[in-house]
Amino acid sequence: MATANSQTIFLLILLSISSATSLDPNFKIKEATIKDLQIAFHQNKLTSKELVKLYLEQIQKLNPILRAVIEVNPDALKQAEEADSRREKAKKCNLVKEAPGLDGIPILLKDNIATKDKLNTTAGSYALLGSVVPRDAGVVKRLRQAGAIILGKASLSEWANFRSTAAPSGWCARGGQGQNPYNLSENPCGSSSGSAIAVAANLAAITLGTETDGSILCPSSTNSVVGIKPTLGLTSRAGVIPITPTQDTVGPICRTVADATYVLDSIVGYDPYDSKATASARKYIPQGGYAQFLKLDGLKGKRLGIVRNPFFDYIKDRPKQDRDFKQHFHTLREKGAILVDDLKIPNIEAIVSQDMSQSYELTVMLAEFKLSLNSYLKQLIKSPVRSLADVIEFNNEHARKEMIKEYNQELFIAAEATNGIGPKENKALAMLVEWSKDGFEKVMEEHKLDAIISPLYYFSTVLAIGGYPGISVPAGYYNYGVPFGICFGGLRGTEPKLIEIAYAFEQATAIRKPPAL
């Protein structure tokens, strides 16, 4: 059961860490991949317990600055010991797996992903501190089955950035302001900010985030890591504090495309608690999994579209980014890709419009958020709040803690004012479907494209409204060392192609470098 004194537990665990004296001095935790870790396990250079201690030491050292982690799991070392025991038994029985798996690998989960253990699940808000979930989230159940160690909960933009438009990205009441490890004065982007910050700064081997519109792709781009936003329903949303079932998805944020792919392999699949979406999407899961698409020649013959207006127009006044993307286009062609330039997506101005009053996407979000959140809260075994109205009231009563005066909660209030899915919402839903079908899908099919390339996270709304997948890969660093990414987006179920493209690009460019902390 999650307890309210989690911060005290956090500090006690970190202060009690002893140094891993048996650790092979040649092993380097910094930038270690899943494959590196599994090889070290197999060669007796490292144990899961030692690895957990190392990450906890890193959290103790850097988290007071970065604010990437809200809680660490008091049972993480116990889970690590169990993983070490399993490994020893497997070695004795010659049952060691060849493919890199997650057994014994620590993972941080965004704090809107439920765990049925001593960790809280709060979306960064004090309103849910001490609440008790009925079960592990669907993706957490799969991670445990794969042997992953739940290291703790990563910070986030509170309520997945859906409380207000005034709160800065990376801020939540429980965790404070998350910081970009490459430049502390720069935006870490949200809402899966803590997940991206933590894995970028080597506070964990791997992390999970969630995305409604940009919440994996944006922090991945801004923190020089790899984020996969899966096709809607490919991963279960059961047990995840929701915004909208029309767009919500769960995906990995890691330092490499390979690691993100191994995590994706572990979390996809049908879940009876998210039956409609996962049943519809399971047809996309390839036999043999996704790791088979980690190919060095993955760009060969791929047709990649470029939409200049408005996406590449956004970076015209940033010469460094503009030059870097021209070089990336050259690299893509050199590796065998065919670039189809200057494409137009119908209704693109309306899709990416910043006018909130005219946003069909927001209309759907507001109505579905109230319905979905109320349903989630009612299913909790124990909770200080049972409805969105209760959360609004809690925030008003605890305005200082939740910084209501400074950051407001106007999205909550607007959502509470909705009354289900009516004519207005149905019209908005129909328009989003029409824009996707007659826009992105039509362009992809007419030009026989495998993916569309966009700079940073700018393509996120196009992908969000249609439930399409995207992968962000490090693409460079501009003013004052701030990272930026390249995004490859495709039609539903095209993760195999996107992984081929992203992996081949990553291997050809090798752009990622750790922050100088």
Q: Is 436 a catalytic residue?
A: no
Q: Is 110 a catalytic residue?
A: yes
Task: With beta carbons less than 8 A apart as the criterion, state whether 492 and 467 touch.
Answer: yes
Measured between alpha carbons, how far is 255 from 473 in angstroms, rounded to an integer?
Answer: 9
Diameter over CA atoms, the chain: 65
**Beta strand extents in 375-468 (DSSP E only):** 451-455
Which residue matches tokens 């200057």? Answer: 342
For residues 264, 254, 219 and 69, what is the CA-based torsion angle, rounded to 10 degrees?
110
End-to-end CA distance of the chain: 35
Secondary structure element (H or E) that encloses residue 154, with its range: strand 149-154
Q: Count, in order, helices (H) and strands (E) of the chain.
A: 21, 13
Structure tokens at 186: 């720069």
Q: Which of 125, 164, 191, 460 is catalytic?
A: 191
Q: Which of 49, 53, 110, 116 is catalytic?
A: 110
Measured between alpha carbons, how far is 271 from 274 in angstroms, rounded to an integer?
Answer: 5
Measured between alpha carbons, how far is 39 from 479 in angstroms, rounded to an integer?
Answer: 37
The answer to whether the peptide bond before residue 346 is cis (omega within 30 degrees of 0) is no
Q: Give the closest residue to 113 by CA, choosing from 101, 104, 121, 103.
A: 121
Rounded to 10 deg, the angle between the 257-267 and 34-42 helix axes is 80
Q: Which of 6, 215, 221, 266 is catalytic?
A: 215
Measured between alpha carbons, how far is 458 from 486 in angstroms, rounded to an integer?
Answer: 10
**Phi-psi category of residue 467: left, alpha or beta, with phi > 0 → left and psi -120 to 50 → alpha:** left
Q: Is 215 a catalytic residue?
A: yes
Say which residues have a Cβ less than 8 Å from residue 39's Cβ, sequence separation at least 6.
none
- Sign of the Cα torsion 237, 243, 245, 249 reads negative
Burial of 89 from C-beta contacts in 10 A (0-12 / 13-18 / 19+): exposed
Tell me which residues are annotated as active site: 110, 191, 215
